[in-house]
Every structure is written in structure tokens, then in C-alpha cells.
Chain A
């Protein structure tokens, strides 16, 4: 029987790997992955303030020369752009000046305009209007410049000389983060580890959901095509089931390995790629290190989790006789799977909470939640082993039940069975 399982396995594997869908997804996967590692960095570089920041009109009704001071600072940020045009006006002229400045912005003679008045010198408010008013970073730079100018003005009023003032007020702080785990400080930033854990869990979920449902449709197809009867006249349903699950599982594994390999290559070319996009100083993103044992555990969780869900999906496929019923019948299995996604957020935020521990022990959520926790924090080995045992047990029960439903369902056509009937199938097989 074992070699018949192999024949089924071979067919499942080869037919899926040859399919256009598989080839496209395998190639596009890393491209997509590459995009999501490159694009954020490119986007992040865009969070530097715009290069026409100084191309503004400053309407200064403060009567203190604040506008000129701000104009000078802004001009120094973007030397290539035109410097700010400072209009010193009286308070009652502000409205008409604003109208004029608005027209200038519309005519693209300026990016925006700043209004300074007595409330500004009092340290309360300023106004900015312009095309880049929604750019948080631009507004923040302008705000900070105005703030520093007001401060400088006040300091000068207190008798501190100009040079010292500009030295004292030019402060630029950039926050650099680092993650601390039970193992100590991680080299990678906290954010990278967060994304890694998220990525691992998401890939596991995707693989189980996509390939589990593929098997389900495969079983249904065999039923509706009536190939099932020819096949089970040569091979035991159990061997058929095993061959199908292992075949599709290996396809999923092949795809993940291909993705990882290609992503590693992408990572190698990431720096030049970023340079091509004009982003300097790339390579700051570090992939968190994965110890070999954790890697082995990840694979085990994937394999067991996949078998568990694939067996259930197979049973669903064998239960129904047509496409219309299959989605509805698959709902309970999908719910179990989606539970993992629902718990993802709380576990990501607090991977050592009681909730996180519980869901990483339940057989239905453990295949996704335990790897997620493992990539976030260090988990004691006995917890990992215990969780694996729990999944393995769940796996055993699921395959036992599914094999029985599969055996009976494969040649049953007609109405979708209800729970009572299903229980009879299980006893009957």
C-alpha cells in the first residue's frame, strides 16, 4: 500500500507544481515580499521634509521681525528652492495679504504661506496654509522652526547674543530603538522582530488556508468527476488520503522554501536596489536571527498543523457533492483557522500573556500561535514540546475522523449530511 500512497503523492505533487497558479505565485511571492521590504524604506525616505519647503510666503504681522528670522532658517533647509518671501504687514492687512498669497499658491508661485501675529509671539499659535498642509513632516518642520524662532527671540530679549542663541536652539533628536528579550538585547530593532513574527504566522496561516482548501476542492473534484471510484478500486481510501495530504503539503513546503531562497537573494540585492531608488544608508534592516532548533520547531509546527487542517478539509470535500455546498460546509474548519488570526494582534502585543500561552497550547491555534510567540520571545523548550505534542494529538484525532468520513463520503452523492448522519458515517466506516 505504501507505494500506492507514493503514486498518489507523486500525482498530487507534480500536477500542482506544474500548474500556472503555482509558478506565478512562487515567482511573484518574493517580488511582493521584496516590494514590502523596499517600499517602506523608499516611503520612509519620503518622510524627510519636501525639497520646496522654503518656497513659501511669510505674512508677518507680529511686528517683531519674527518672519525674517524664520525665513532665514527655512531657506537654509532647502537651499535649492526659492527662499521665503517675507511680507511685513499690519494686523488689519493680514486678510488681503492672505487672499493674495492664496492666489500665488494656486498659480504655483509658492507652495504655501505662513501667518505670524501677536498670538505667535505670545507662544500660542501660527497658521500655515499650502499644498503640503497634509504632509505631517513638512508641517512639523515649519512648526518646530517657528517654535525655535520664538524661543530665540525671547532669549535675545533676555540679553543672550544671537550666535549663542542659534547654537543653543539647534537641537535635532532622532530616536533609535532596540529590542530586549529574555536572551538580552537583540541586534535587530524591535520593529523588525515584530514584522518577522507577524510574517511567519501569516505565511503559516496562508499556506494552511490556501493549500488546505486546494485539497478540499481536489477531493470534491474527484467526487464530481467520478474519478474517485476508479482510484479507490486500486488504492485504499486511507492511502489515497495520506498521499493527497502529503502531496499538497509538500507543494506548500516547496513554495515556502522557494520563497525563502528567493527572498534571501532579494535581500542580497536589496541595498543596490534601494540605491537605485536613491535611498542612501540602506541595510539598516536586519533579519532577526533564527536558531536552528527554532527552525526545526517551525517546520514541525507547519507540518503537523498542515496535516491537521488538510485532513479536516479533505473530510469536508468528501462530505459534499457540489460546489455550492462546499463553502458552507468548510465554515467550521475555516473558523478554527481564523481564530488564529483573531488572536494574532493580542499575542503580538503581549506574547507572554496568559491568553497567548493558552492559544499556543490549543491544537487548532498552536500551529500558528506558537511559532508567532517563538519569533517574538524566548519560549522554554518544554512549552514548545508540550505544544507540539498537543498538535500531534489533535492531528491524530483529525486524521482518524477524516479518514472515516472520507471513506464513506467519497462514494456518497446527494444532500449534504447533517451532524447525525455524519456521526453515522463515522461509526459505519
Chain B
């Protein structure tokens, strides 16, 4: 456990006039689920591509499991699922999986055995049909994603890197993916995934790094990150008609009470203003006559921290959200 799964130190990458990643340093602890968070274009994919030596950093060093990332065989211990997924359309499922495994140095006989197990596990082999002999373009989109996922894990990597794994997944597959991530962690693997969906990250990650405009905004264990952000947040859930809602809304506009509000219609995450008393806030809300379903002092959600730290400029419309 001495060396972290990934150690990035002072990495910078420029593309022509833009700086994609600027002086980035971070450590991914072994055996953790690590979230690389940031709006689109923040440099998440560039960072991941540099870890995998798909592109070379201009400056800085990257270590995987304590070895330089360019060392022979190191990348064979990494499984990678790119954001833009794709497979050879005209190839049979078993052949493409064997190809991907062999590329990682897995001997054919072992690969074949694992392929059978995975195909069964993800029900690509059913009593009616063996999809392993089908060509990729005969598969539904969901099945193709399963095949791609098998290809990522077939060589039993110690480190799994998933770039925006939740994009384009339906709720069932998204749940299956979450289950797999938990399972991988339980098996002692390290999982890094990038996302702009904070809710997923908050539930799954042990530690996170938020980057924006190619620079690290903050990183650390989730608990520490939240601790650092303070605990002067209130979660408020209400019942009531539009009038009651408006009354509550008016209270929350009072900057002496709340310095910032995330208004989600029937749920509010409220950052208390300096010196404001939560009891006072509760009393005023009750006075309006709305039904209070929940009033709780909480640590801020990752989403709140993200909004606060990255700011509106870093988050163009739709780039952060709940998913």
C-alpha cells in the first residue's frame, strides 16, 4: 500500500493556444474509488489520456503503482473505458474480446475461459441464444456496452479507468455499472472515473478531484472535502401550495439568513449566512404555514461544493447536474 495507484506531479499539457491541463498534481490511493470531476472541457479526458500514454504531457511525471507510466507492462495492469465507446462492427463478440485481452498480454486459453464467464454473467449467453458468435453490429446498443465493459475488465486490471461511464446508460445499466464499481473496490481494485454528475460521484467515491479550466480546484477524501467546506448548510424539504412556496422563497432571499440557495422546487439546500441562526430560519419557515418535511443541518453536497468552487463561469448550462 506504499505507492498510490496513480501519482501525478506537475503535469501540464498544451494544445496549440489552449492549456488543457495546467500544473496538475494528484494522488489516487490504492483500493479507492476516485472521482475526477469537472465540467466538460475541464481537462478530465486529457488527464486520463496522459495516464494511459495516449498523449504525452509537456511537463511533469505520472506514476502508476509506483512505476513510471511509460514502463514496460505497466499499462497492461490498467483497464480503460473511453468516453467515446466503439468496437469493430464486423467482428464476432468472442474474437474481439480475445483480441482485447491478448493486447493486454492475457494468454488465449485464459482469455477464452474468462470470456465465457463474463458472457454468462452479463447474460450475453442465454438458453435461446449465444451472442458470443454474433457480430458487434448485430447487437443492441446496451449489449455493445456490455461487451465493451467486458473488454475493459477481461485482463483483471488492478486499476480501472472509466471516462464518463454513465453517459448514455439507461437507469438499469447505470445501476449495473455502480454495482460493478462497488464490486471492484471490494476486490481491492482501484477505480477512477470521470464524471460531471455530482450525485453519482458523491455516492460512489472515496475521494475526488475537482478540476476546471485545466486546473485543480480541490482534491481529497470526500469526508475531508466536505468537512473543509464547513457544515453550515441546511437541507429543507417542504409541502404546500404555490403561495407557501413563494413565502419560503422570499425568506431565503434574505441575505442575512441565507448566503446561497440551491432551489430545487420542493427541496432547498441552503448555505447559512455568517452569524445566521438555523433556529431562527426554522421558525420563520414554520410561520409561513408550509408543511416542513425535513429540516436538517448538513455538510454541503458535492454538487454545492462544486458550484461554489467552480462557480457559474465554470459551469455552463447543463454541464453539472443530478443524475
Contact = CB atoms under 8 A, between A and B. Distances in A.
A11 B75 contact: no
A230 B54 contact: no
A229 B82 contact: yes
Contacts of A234: 75-76, 80, 100, 103-104
A4 interface: yes
Interface in A182-232: 221-222, 225-227, 229-232
B82 A233 contact: yes
Interface in A12-62: 14-15
Interface residues of A, number: 21
- Interface residue tally of chain B, by bracket? 20 to 34
A65 B148 CA distance: 94
A420 to B, nearest CB: 12
B86 interface: yes
A28 B54 CA distance: 43
A274 interface: no
B102 interface: yes
A226 B55 contact: no
A411 interface: yes
Contacts of B95: 11, 14-15
B35 interface: no
Contacts of A15: 88, 90-91, 95
A230 B76 contact: no
Given A7-B102, A230-B80, A232-B54, A225 B86 contact: yes
Nearest to A240: B103
Contacts of B75: 233-234
A321 to B, nearest CB: 12
B272 interface: no
A14 B88 CA distance: 14
B54 A227 contact: no
A240 to B, nearest CB: 10
B100 A230 contact: yes
B103 A235 contact: yes
B186 interface: no
Interface string B75-91: 11010101011111111
B85 A7 contact: no
B99 A7 contact: yes
B132 interface: no
Contacts of B148: 230
B89 A225 contact: yes
Contacts of B103: 4, 7-8, 231, 234-235
Contacts of A222: 88
A222 B87 CA distance: 8
Contacts of A411: 49, 54-55
Contacts of B82: 226, 229-230, 233
Nearest to B85: A226
Interface in B81-138: 82, 84-91, 95, 99-100, 102-105
A148 B85 CA distance: 84
A11 to B, nearest CB: 5
Interface in B13-57: 49, 52, 54-55
Contacts of A11: 95, 99
Given A233-B54, A411-B55, A227 B80 contact: no
Given A7-B103, A11-B99, A234-B103, A227 B76 contact: no
A15 B54 CA distance: 25
Given A230-B151, A231-B103, A234-B104, A225 B52 contact: no
A264 B225 CA distance: 77
A84 B78 CA distance: 92
Nearest to B103: A234
Nearest to A239: B103
17 contacts: A4-B103, A7-B99, A14-B95, A15-B88, A221-B88, A226-B85, A226-B86, A229-B82, A230-B86, A231-B103, A232-B54, A233-B54, A233-B75, A233-B82, A234-B75, A234-B76, A411-B49
Interface of B: 49, 52, 54-55, 75-76, 78, 80, 82, 84-91, 95, 99-100, 102-105, 148, 151
Task: Across the A-B interface, give the 4 residue pairs with the lowest CB-CB distance, nearest first.
Answer: A226-B86, A225-B86, A234-B103, A226-B84
